[in-house]
Amino acid sequence: MSEFEPNIVAFLCNWCSYAGADLTGTTRTHYPPTVKVIRVMCTGRVNPLFVAQVLRTGADGVLISGCHPGECHYMKGNFLARRRFIIMRNLLEFIGIDPQRIRMSWVSASEGKKFADVITEVTEDIKKLGPLQSFKENVNGHPKTEG
């Protein structure tokens, strides 16, 4: 059997992290192909329930990435998001989901290298944790079969 490849969903803010991810591509920096990017206008737009929804519909980890504190295009979106995700992480941890699966990062538009590093680190961490089986959508209490 081949090695476990985690399935990570990344919510990237339009102004910093998405542009940062773009830079990673244009500078041809390599990073693991485990991440599926969803572009949002701001991390403040990411409803914390997205995290739960994403995890139960098949992702093994979630990354939310936005502008550095104080650099938000909308002034305070990332501050508000930070507070929400602290709470959501704690809630999911309390319910029994490893908090390492819910990650957040600040990546600016010029930090292409950092974006690659973040993805590498998150991928490594989630590889260690293994697939998230418990929270996958069930049919009558039984986990769905693969495929």
Partner 1 sequence: MDIQKLRDEAKRALGRKEIEYLIGYKKGSYGFRISPCFIETKEEVDQLTFSPLCSLSLVNYLTIEGKPLLPADEKKSKAKKVALLVRGCDSRALNQIIAEGGISPDQLYVIGIPCSGVIDLKKIEARFPHTPDPVDVVEENGNYIITINDQSHTVPVDELKAETCKTCQYPTPLTCKKLIGDKRAGNPPQYEDIQILEAQPPEEKWQFWQNQFSRCIRCYACRNSCPLCYCDGCILEKLKPQWVKRSVDTNENFMFHITRAFHLAGRCISCGECERVCPVDIPLMKLNRKMEKDVKELFDFEAGLDPEVKPLLNTFAIEDPEDFIL
Number of amino acids touching partner 1 (CB under 8 A): 42
Bridge partners (DSSP) of residue 142 are 139
Instruction: Compute the distance between CA of residue 25 and CA of residue 113 in angstroms, rounded to an integer.
Output: 10
Minimum Å distance from CB 61 to partner 1?
Answer: 13
- Position among 139, 145, 146, 147 found at the interface with partner 1 (CB under 8 A): 139
Minimum Å distance from CB 125 to partner 1?
Answer: 10
- Position among 5, 29, 41, 82 found at the interface with partner 1 (CB under 8 A): 82
Interface with partner 1 in residues 119-138 (CB under 8 A): 121-122, 134-138
Q: Contact between 76 and partner 1 (CB under 8 A)? A: yes
Of 104, 101, 54, nearest to 79 by C-alpha is 104
Q: How far is CA 76 from CA 32, 51, 68, 103, 110, in A?
A: 31, 21, 11, 19, 20
Instruction: Compute the distance between CA of residue 70 and CA of residue 143 in angstroms, rounded to an integer.
Output: 43
Copy the structure tokens of residue 100: 């390492």
Interface with partner 1 in residues 18-37 (CB under 8 A): none
Q: Contact between 75 and partner 1 (CB under 8 A)? A: no
CA 119, 5, 54, 51 torsion-angle sign = negative
- Position among 103, 108, 109, 126 found at the interface with partner 1 (CB under 8 A): 103
Q: Which residues bind partner 1 (CB under 8 A)?
A: 48-49, 52-53, 56, 69-70, 76, 79-80, 82-84, 86-99, 103-106, 118, 121-122, 134-141
